[in-house]
Amino acid sequence: MKYLFALLLTLFYGLSYAAVLPQAEPVPGGIAVVPLSGSGQHAPSVYFNGQRIMVIKDGGQWLAVVGIPLNSTPGAATLQIRTDAAHQTSRTFTIQDKAYTTQRITIKDKRKVDPNTQDLKRIHREHRVMQKVFTAWHAQDAVPLRFDLPAEGPVSSPFGLRRIFNGEARNPHSGLDIAAHAGAPIHAPAAGRVAAVGNYFFDGNTVLIDHGQGLVTMYCHMQKIMVKKGQQLARGEVIGLVGQTGRATGPHVHWGVSLNNARVDPGLFLAPDTLAKLEEK
Protein backbone atom coordinates (compact mmCIF):
# COMPACT_ATOMS: atom_id res chain seq x y z
CA MET A 1 0.00 0.00 0.00
CA LYS A 2 2.78 2.45 0.86
CA TYR A 3 4.33 1.92 -2.59
CA LEU A 4 0.97 2.66 -4.25
CA PHE A 5 0.65 5.83 -2.16
CA ALA A 6 4.15 6.93 -3.19
CA LEU A 7 3.30 6.29 -6.84
CA LEU A 8 0.10 8.35 -6.59
CA LEU A 9 2.04 11.23 -5.01
CA THR A 10 4.60 11.10 -7.80
CA LEU A 11 1.87 11.17 -10.46
CA PHE A 12 0.01 14.00 -8.69
CA TYR A 13 3.00 16.29 -8.31
CA GLY A 14 4.28 15.44 -11.77
CA LEU A 15 1.17 16.81 -13.48
CA SER A 16 1.25 20.23 -15.13
CA TYR A 17 -1.59 22.58 -14.39
CA ALA A 18 -2.79 25.59 -16.32
CA ALA A 19 -2.56 28.76 -14.26
CA VAL A 20 -5.38 31.29 -14.11
CA LEU A 21 -3.72 34.35 -15.63
CA PRO A 22 -4.72 38.01 -15.73
CA GLN A 23 -5.67 39.36 -19.13
CA ALA A 24 -2.52 40.22 -21.07
CA GLU A 25 -2.61 43.78 -22.40
CA PRO A 26 0.97 45.08 -22.89
CA VAL A 27 0.16 48.82 -22.78
CA PRO A 28 0.98 51.55 -20.25
CA GLY A 29 -1.06 50.59 -17.20
CA GLY A 30 -1.45 47.04 -18.50
CA ILE A 31 0.18 43.64 -18.09
CA ALA A 32 2.61 41.71 -20.27
CA VAL A 33 2.81 37.92 -19.90
CA VAL A 34 6.25 36.93 -21.20
CA PRO A 35 7.28 33.26 -21.67
CA LEU A 36 10.72 32.46 -20.29
CA SER A 37 13.12 29.88 -21.67
CA GLY A 38 13.68 26.76 -19.62
CA SER A 39 11.30 24.65 -17.55
CA GLY A 40 13.43 23.85 -14.50
CA GLN A 41 12.10 23.18 -11.04
CA HIS A 42 13.08 26.57 -9.65
CA ALA A 43 11.74 29.86 -10.98
CA PRO A 44 14.28 32.31 -12.39
CA SER A 45 14.55 35.78 -10.85
CA VAL A 46 13.28 38.41 -13.26
CA TYR A 47 13.62 42.21 -13.04
CA PHE A 48 12.08 45.14 -14.90
CA ASN A 49 13.07 48.76 -14.24
CA GLY A 50 15.02 47.48 -11.22
CA GLN A 51 11.91 45.90 -9.67
CA ARG A 52 11.51 42.15 -9.20
CA ILE A 53 8.81 40.57 -11.36
CA MET A 54 6.23 37.90 -10.61
CA VAL A 55 7.08 34.51 -12.14
CA ILE A 56 4.58 31.64 -12.25
CA LYS A 57 4.48 28.23 -13.87
CA ASP A 58 1.82 27.39 -16.43
CA GLY A 59 1.74 23.88 -17.88
CA GLY A 60 5.46 23.38 -17.34
CA GLN A 61 6.38 26.82 -18.74
CA TRP A 62 7.71 29.67 -16.58
CA LEU A 63 6.00 32.99 -17.30
CA ALA A 64 6.91 36.52 -16.21
CA VAL A 65 3.79 38.53 -15.31
CA VAL A 66 4.88 42.15 -15.76
CA GLY A 67 3.08 45.28 -14.60
CA ILE A 68 3.72 48.20 -16.99
CA PRO A 69 3.76 51.72 -15.46
CA LEU A 70 1.29 54.25 -16.80
CA ASN A 71 4.12 56.61 -17.78
CA SER A 72 5.88 53.98 -19.93
CA THR A 73 6.90 54.88 -23.48
CA PRO A 74 5.58 52.50 -26.15
CA GLY A 75 8.27 50.37 -27.82
CA ALA A 76 10.77 47.71 -26.84
CA ALA A 77 11.22 46.89 -23.16
CA THR A 78 13.74 44.51 -21.59
CA LEU A 79 13.53 42.01 -18.75
CA GLN A 80 16.68 40.99 -16.89
CA ILE A 81 16.66 37.26 -16.06
CA ARG A 82 18.86 35.52 -13.48
CA THR A 83 18.78 31.72 -13.36
CA ASP A 84 21.62 31.71 -10.82
CA ALA A 85 24.44 33.98 -9.66
CA ALA A 86 26.60 33.14 -12.67
CA HIS A 87 24.01 33.19 -15.46
CA GLN A 88 22.12 36.29 -16.55
CA THR A 89 20.14 36.78 -19.75
CA SER A 90 17.56 39.22 -21.05
CA ARG A 91 14.22 39.03 -22.82
CA THR A 92 12.56 41.77 -24.84
CA PHE A 93 8.85 42.45 -25.18
CA THR A 94 6.93 45.27 -26.83
CA ILE A 95 4.83 47.91 -25.04
CA GLN A 96 1.97 48.99 -27.28
CA ASP A 97 0.36 52.43 -27.24
CA LYS A 98 -3.01 53.17 -25.67
CA ALA A 99 -4.98 56.42 -25.54
CA TYR A 100 -6.88 57.13 -22.33
CA THR A 101 -9.68 59.68 -22.15
CA THR A 102 -9.60 62.91 -20.13
CA GLN A 103 -11.76 63.69 -17.09
CA ARG A 104 -12.33 67.17 -15.66
CA ILE A 105 -13.25 67.40 -11.97
CA THR A 106 -14.08 70.36 -9.73
CA ILE A 107 -12.85 70.05 -6.13
CA LYS A 108 -14.31 72.47 -3.55
CA ASP A 109 -11.45 71.96 -1.09
CA LYS A 110 -8.68 73.74 -3.01
CA ARG A 111 -5.98 72.31 -0.71
CA LYS A 112 -6.74 68.90 -2.21
CA VAL A 113 -5.55 70.35 -5.55
CA ASP A 114 -2.82 72.74 -4.36
CA PRO A 115 -1.59 71.48 -0.96
CA ASN A 116 0.21 73.89 1.36
CA THR A 117 3.68 73.31 2.82
CA GLN A 118 2.48 71.28 5.81
CA ASP A 119 0.22 69.24 3.56
CA LEU A 120 3.15 68.43 1.26
CA LYS A 121 5.23 67.17 4.20
CA ARG A 122 2.38 64.88 5.17
CA ILE A 123 1.91 63.71 1.57
CA HIS A 124 5.62 62.84 1.27
CA ARG A 125 5.52 60.85 4.54
CA GLU A 126 2.48 58.92 3.37
CA HIS A 127 4.05 58.33 -0.04
CA ARG A 128 7.08 56.70 1.62
CA VAL A 129 4.82 54.39 3.64
CA MET A 130 2.91 53.25 0.56
CA GLN A 131 6.03 52.90 -1.59
CA LYS A 132 7.53 50.58 1.01
CA VAL A 133 4.52 48.31 0.53
CA PHE A 134 4.46 48.60 -3.27
CA THR A 135 8.16 47.77 -3.64
CA ALA A 136 8.23 44.88 -1.13
CA TRP A 137 8.76 41.34 -2.38
CA HIS A 138 7.32 38.29 -0.65
CA ALA A 139 8.02 34.90 -2.23
CA GLN A 140 4.83 32.91 -2.67
CA ASP A 141 4.13 29.93 -4.91
CA ALA A 142 0.35 30.32 -5.21
CA VAL A 143 -0.58 33.91 -6.03
CA PRO A 144 -4.25 34.81 -6.63
CA LEU A 145 -4.53 36.23 -10.16
CA ARG A 146 -8.32 36.22 -10.49
CA PHE A 147 -10.15 38.76 -8.32
CA ASP A 148 -13.72 39.32 -7.20
CA LEU A 149 -15.14 42.84 -7.15
CA PRO A 150 -14.50 44.50 -3.79
CA ALA A 151 -17.87 46.33 -3.80
CA GLU A 152 -21.16 46.46 -5.68
CA GLY A 153 -21.95 49.48 -7.83
CA PRO A 154 -21.32 51.19 -11.16
CA VAL A 155 -17.92 52.43 -12.28
CA SER A 156 -17.76 56.18 -11.70
CA SER A 157 -14.18 56.62 -12.96
CA PRO A 158 -12.37 53.99 -15.05
CA PHE A 159 -8.67 53.29 -14.88
CA GLY A 160 -6.16 55.50 -16.73
CA LEU A 161 -8.16 58.71 -17.06
CA ARG A 162 -6.03 61.79 -17.68
CA ARG A 163 -7.35 63.92 -14.85
CA ILE A 164 -7.72 67.69 -14.67
CA PHE A 165 -8.65 69.07 -11.24
CA ASN A 166 -9.96 72.65 -11.18
CA GLY A 167 -8.36 73.24 -14.58
CA GLU A 168 -4.95 71.84 -13.56
CA ALA A 169 -3.52 68.60 -15.00
CA ARG A 170 -2.64 65.96 -12.40
CA ASN A 171 -1.49 62.34 -12.40
CA PRO A 172 -3.60 59.84 -14.36
CA HIS A 173 -6.25 57.89 -12.47
CA SER A 174 -4.37 54.84 -11.23
CA GLY A 175 -7.34 52.77 -10.09
CA LEU A 176 -10.98 51.92 -10.66
CA ASP A 177 -13.69 53.87 -8.81
CA ILE A 178 -16.84 51.96 -7.82
CA ALA A 179 -19.71 54.22 -6.77
CA ALA A 180 -21.19 52.09 -4.00
CA HIS A 181 -23.43 53.78 -1.45
CA ALA A 182 -21.97 55.12 1.80
CA GLY A 183 -21.60 52.40 4.42
CA ALA A 184 -21.63 49.53 1.93
CA PRO A 185 -19.15 46.73 2.71
CA ILE A 186 -15.81 46.48 0.93
CA HIS A 187 -14.53 42.92 0.51
CA ALA A 188 -11.05 41.51 -0.04
CA PRO A 189 -11.10 40.34 -3.70
CA ALA A 190 -8.68 37.50 -2.90
CA ALA A 191 -6.67 36.12 0.00
CA GLY A 192 -3.79 38.24 1.30
CA ARG A 193 -2.16 40.01 4.22
CA VAL A 194 -2.96 43.55 5.35
CA ALA A 195 0.28 45.43 4.64
CA ALA A 196 -0.79 48.94 5.74
CA VAL A 197 -3.76 50.91 7.03
CA GLY A 198 -4.01 54.64 7.52
CA ASN A 199 -5.71 57.94 6.89
CA TYR A 200 -3.97 59.69 4.00
CA PHE A 201 -4.26 63.23 2.66
CA PHE A 202 -5.55 62.36 -0.81
CA ASP A 203 -6.78 58.79 -0.28
CA GLY A 204 -8.58 59.13 3.05
CA ASN A 205 -9.02 55.96 5.09
CA THR A 206 -7.02 53.36 3.18
CA VAL A 207 -6.13 49.65 3.31
CA LEU A 208 -3.33 47.96 1.34
CA ILE A 209 -3.32 44.15 0.92
CA ASP A 210 -0.22 42.18 -0.10
CA HIS A 211 -1.10 39.09 -2.18
CA GLY A 212 2.52 37.95 -2.77
CA GLN A 213 5.22 38.35 -5.43
CA GLY A 214 4.80 42.12 -5.71
CA LEU A 215 1.01 42.07 -6.17
CA VAL A 216 -0.70 44.62 -3.90
CA THR A 217 -4.28 45.92 -3.89
CA MET A 218 -5.41 49.25 -2.47
CA TYR A 219 -8.78 50.54 -1.18
CA CYS A 220 -9.31 54.25 -0.52
CA HIS A 221 -11.85 56.81 0.77
CA MET A 222 -13.30 54.40 3.35
CA GLN A 223 -15.82 55.51 5.92
CA LYS A 224 -14.44 52.91 8.31
CA ILE A 225 -11.48 50.51 8.35
CA MET A 226 -12.28 47.10 9.84
CA VAL A 227 -8.91 45.29 9.63
CA LYS A 228 -5.47 45.67 11.21
CA LYS A 229 -1.95 45.67 9.78
CA GLY A 230 -0.56 42.14 9.59
CA GLN A 231 -3.99 40.49 9.54
CA GLN A 232 -4.39 37.52 7.20
CA LEU A 233 -7.48 37.81 5.03
CA ALA A 234 -9.61 35.24 3.24
CA ARG A 235 -11.26 35.99 -0.10
CA GLY A 236 -14.49 37.91 0.49
CA GLU A 237 -13.68 39.07 4.02
CA VAL A 238 -15.01 42.55 4.85
CA ILE A 239 -12.16 45.05 5.21
CA GLY A 240 -14.15 48.27 5.66
CA LEU A 241 -17.07 50.43 4.61
CA VAL A 242 -17.48 52.72 1.61
CA GLY A 243 -17.06 56.40 2.40
CA GLN A 244 -16.00 59.81 1.12
CA THR A 245 -12.78 60.56 3.01
CA GLY A 246 -9.76 62.25 1.42
CA ARG A 247 -10.08 63.80 -2.07
CA ALA A 248 -13.49 62.50 -3.06
CA THR A 249 -16.56 64.17 -4.57
CA GLY A 250 -18.96 61.40 -3.50
CA PRO A 251 -19.10 58.01 -1.77
CA HIS A 252 -17.06 55.39 -3.61
CA VAL A 253 -14.16 52.98 -3.25
CA HIS A 254 -11.01 53.63 -5.24
CA TRP A 255 -9.67 50.17 -6.03
CA GLY A 256 -6.04 50.10 -7.11
CA VAL A 257 -3.79 47.22 -8.16
CA SER A 258 0.01 47.48 -8.05
CA LEU A 259 2.16 44.85 -9.76
CA ASN A 260 5.97 45.20 -9.41
CA ASN A 261 5.34 48.80 -8.25
CA ALA A 262 3.36 49.64 -11.41
CA ARG A 263 -0.28 50.68 -11.05
CA VAL A 264 -2.25 48.54 -13.48
CA ASP A 265 -5.87 48.18 -14.55
CA PRO A 266 -7.81 46.13 -11.94
CA GLY A 267 -10.18 44.96 -14.70
CA LEU A 268 -7.40 42.75 -16.07
CA PHE A 269 -7.76 40.54 -12.98
CA LEU A 270 -11.53 40.06 -13.30
CA ALA A 271 -13.25 37.11 -14.93
CA PRO A 272 -14.69 38.08 -18.36
CA ASP A 273 -18.30 37.72 -17.18
CA THR A 274 -17.63 39.84 -14.07
CA LEU A 275 -16.01 42.55 -16.17
CA ALA A 276 -18.91 42.52 -18.64
CA LYS A 277 -21.45 42.97 -15.84
CA LEU A 278 -19.42 45.81 -14.36
CA GLU A 279 -19.29 47.62 -17.68
CA GLU A 280 -23.07 47.27 -18.06
CA LYS A 281 -23.82 49.11 -14.80
Residue 5 has pLDDT above 60, yes or no: no
Q: Could you read off the pLDDT of 89-141 as tens digits, one per residue?
A: 999 999 999 988 877 777 666 776 678 899 999 999 999 999 999 999 999 88
CATH superfamily of domain region 102-280: Glucose Permease (Domain IIA) (2.70.70.10)
Portion of the chain with pLDDT greater than 70, in percent: 85
d(CA 215, CA 64): 13
- Which tens digit of pLDDT belongs to each residue from 175-217? 999 999 999 999 999 999 999 999 999 899 999 999 999 999 9
Domains 15-95 and 102-280 share a fold: no
Pick the CATH number of 15-95 from 2.60.40.1590, 3.40.50.720, 2.40.340.10, 3.40.470.10: 2.60.40.1590
Q: What is the pLDDT of residue 15?
A: 41
Question: Which among 220, 239, 226, 65 is positioned nearest to 144, based on CA atoms?
Answer: 65
Residue 65: C-alpha distances to residues 37, 50, 105, 144 (Å): 14, 15, 34, 12
- pLDDT tens-digit series, residues 29-79: 999 999 998 667 788 999 999 999 999 998 888 999 999 999 999 999 999
User: Is the pLDDT confidence value at 278 over 90?
Assistant: no
In the chain, where the domains are located: 15-95, 102-280
Angle at 185 between CA 54 and CA 237, to 5 degrees: 50
Q: Which amino acid is at 135?
A: T
Looking at residue 230, what DSSP letter applies? T
Q: Can you tell me the distance from the alpha carbon of 185 to that of 45, in angstroms, rounded to the nearest whole number?
A: 38
Cα radius of gyration (the chain): 20
